[in-house]
Amino acid sequence: MNTPLPPRPSPEPTVDSLPYWTGLREHRLCLQQCAACGTTRHYPRPLCATCFSSAVTWINAQGTGEVHSWTVAHHAFHPAFKSELPYTLVTVDLPEGVRILAPFRGDSADLRLGLPVRLIFEEILPELTLPAFIRG
């Protein structure tokens, strides 16, 4: 007997992260930049870790980067992702100075440290678009 899978967990945008989620729907990766000291940060959060200012502007990432690390998941952390196993997650150093975690779409055997990758956008649900990476 198969038990139906629970629904995929979805993000709940906050006042600080809403521009990030909205940007993804418009196929833009938006990063917060401190309006006081210029430090770029990711993930979205209310305060700058460098100067503790809450003043923020948003910039669009170029959509390029280099592999910092990766892992191939063989066990789902949530039952909704079981059907996607195995899947590869990469941490990518963006030229904007931040690191992002996202799925890698391609053969994980191709991965190596410093590999150039390119951002793509995956429309998961009508209201949810998520970033992923392919070889650059």
Q: How far is the CB of 51 from Zn ion (least distance, A)?
A: 3
Nearer to Zn ion, 37 or 134 (CB): 37
Q: Which of residues 43-82 bind Zn ion (CB under 5 A)?
A: 48, 50-51, 53
DSSP 127: T
Region of 17-25, 27-35, 57-65, 83-91 interacting with Zn ion (CB under 5 A): 27-35
Size of the site for Zn ion (CB under 5 A): 8
14 binds Zn ion per the rule CB under 5 A = no
Q: How far is the CB of 46 from Zn ion (least distance, A)?
A: 12
Nearer to Zn ion, 5 or 35 (CB): 35
- For residue 107, count CB atoms less than 10 angstroms from its CB and return exposed for 0-12, middle for 13-18, buried for 19 or more: exposed
Partners of 31 in beta bridges: 59
In sequence order, the 6+-apart residues with CB closer than 8 A to the CB of 60 are 23, 28, 29, 30, 31
- For residue 104, count CB atoms less than 10 angstroms from its CB and return exposed for 0-12, middle for 13-18, buried for 19 or more: buried
117 binds Zn ion per the rule CB under 5 A = no
Contact between 32 and 94 under an 8 Å Cβ cutoff? The reply is no
34 binds Zn ion per the rule CB under 5 A = yes
Give the footprint of Zn ion on this chain (CB under 5 A): 34, 36-37, 39, 48, 50-51, 53
